[in-house]
A = this chain, B = another copy of it.
Amino acid sequence: MPKIDIDAAPLRRGSIYPEPYASQMAGRSSRRLGDLAGLTQFGANIVYLEPGAVASLRHWHLNEDEFAIVLTGTLILAEDSGETPMRPGDCAAWKAGVPVGHRFVNRTDAPASFLVVGSKAPAEVATYTEVDLKLFIAGGKARATYHDGSDWAGPRNLAPQGGKE
């Protein structure tokens, strides 16, 4: 398979999060390059963040390893354990099951982007560490619960987990 035509991967917006979190992802878009190339074992997506945008809620994955490299601009890696500025070529990784919430934030006046790679487990659980939300993801669908497993019925914040934001 030759070089990937990046612009041929649809620019995706939107979110699997329930509101009000989905709307907080405005300014985020992505292209799924691995899917475009027919890969099935892991995803390889470029995520674009406009000034002020965030890539996700702060979260960790139960079953899927994750790796990211900054491509353009300057990002803040905001984790429960603290914040780190990230520039092009800087990398970070999160082993499946390690409960350290993390997300990328663009606090600059310029666009930024990163490549993120994640395994494709048959079923995944994402736990959010600043809001009382868990997503059970399988077959392309997501079911939302609170951390205690009860059905999600609206936003609840959690106590701060560290890392000023």
| Chain A residues within 8 Å of B, Cβ to Cβ | 1-4, 6, 33-34, 37-42, 44, 64-65, 67, 69, 71, 77, 79, 81-82, 84, 86, 89-96, 98, 100, 115, 117, 119
Contacts and interface: CB of A to CB of B under 8 A. Distances in A.
A117 B44 contact: yes
This protein's copies in its complex: 2
Given A65-B34, A67-B33, A4 B91 contact: yes
Contacts of A37: 67, 92-95
A6 B91 contact: yes
A96 B71 CA distance: 26
Contact of A84 (B2, B40, B77, B82): B2
